[in-house]
Amino acid sequence: MQERDLEMLARIEAALYASGRPLSIDELQRAAGTDSTNKAVKMAREVAQKFNSTMHALEVAELQDGAFVLQLKLHYNNVVKRFATRPFLSHATLKTLSCIAYMQPVTSKQLVEVRGSQVYAHLKSLHQSGFLTYQKLGRLKIYNTTKKFHDYFGVDGDIEKLKKQLVKTEKAAPIPQIVQPILEKA
């Protein structure tokens, strides 16, 4: 392998590590310093192959939308939970996201009724993160989760299956007060 290719591999690996989120092919192309999409994809797959064959707890995954992400293997999530310092999304934002996942399609008005006015900041953050999409209906916005949400959290794209999974999880654990009204409506 040429020195230039080794440098591209290292730059892609560094970008994946530093980002803490999935990177699109365009972003990987810029990180690698190449104009070729095919070269960036080839190099990212090479990083994934090398990384996945030598690491036990971490993996580089190629997502369905073509993005790549350096992530912890699902098996080790519970082991490292207590060591995580600052979550990517706050607890309150995650609660809002779970409400959206369960209630979707859902209006901002419905979310404010369930979660309170702080929901607007959560919606902005979740939309910027790519976990939500919305459609405008007059002044009203209707929210749905995105493919990135499904890929990031490792859930199937089937909304009804996701709702059943959320209800099953809630029955196994104490139901937070915030979710009880939602589950009662279902």
- What is the torsion angle, in degrees rounded to the nearest 10, for the CA atoms of residue 165, residue 168, residue 173 and residue 178? 70
Please give the pLDDT value at position 139.
87
Assess whether pLDDT exceeds 60 at residue 85. yes
Residues spanned by the domain of 180: 91-185
Pick the last residue of a domain from 50, 75, 100: 75
For the segment 15-38, what is each residue's pLDDT rounded down to a tens digit? 999 888 899 999 999 999 999 999
Q: Which residue has the tokens 């960036």?
A: 40
Question: How far is 108 from 120, CA to CA, in rounded Å?
Answer: 8
Residues 67 and 119 in one domain: no
Question: Which pTM was predicted?
Answer: 0.49
Assess whether pLDDT exceeds 80 at residue 83. no
CB 122 within 8 A of CB 92: yes
| CATH (domain of 13) | 1.10.10.10
For the segment 133-177, what is each residue's pLDDT rounded down to a tens digit? 999 988 889 999 988 888 887 776 677 776 776 666 655 544 444
Please give the pLDDT value at position 140.
87
Please give the pLDDT value at position 80.
82
CB 179 within 8 A of CB 99: yes
Residues 96 and 138 in one domain: yes
Residues 69 and 95 in one domain: no
Residues 102 and 181 in one domain: yes
For the segment 52-79, what is each residue's pLDDT rounded down to a tens digit? 888 888 999 998 888 999 998 888 888 8
| Integer CA distances (angstroms), 111 to 70, 71, 129, 179, in order | 32, 30, 18, 12
Q: Is residue 80 in a domain?
A: no
Residues 105 and 152 in one domain: yes
Between 126 and 20, name the one with better pLDDT. 126
Please give the pLDDT value at position 170.
56
Assess whether pLDDT exceeds 60 at residue 181. no
Mean pLDDT, all residues of the chain: 83
Enumerate the H helices of the chain as residue ranges.
3-19, 25-32, 37-54, 77-80, 91-103, 108-115, 119-128, 147-153, 159-172, 180-185
Assess whether pLDDT exceeds 70 at residue 185. no
Pick the last residue of a domain from 75, 103, 136: 75
Domain count, the chain: 2
Please give the pLDDT value at position 183.
45
Q: What is the 3-state secondary structure (H, E, C) of 17-59?
A: HHHCCCECHHHHHHHHCCCCHHHHHHHHHHHHHHHHHHCCCEE
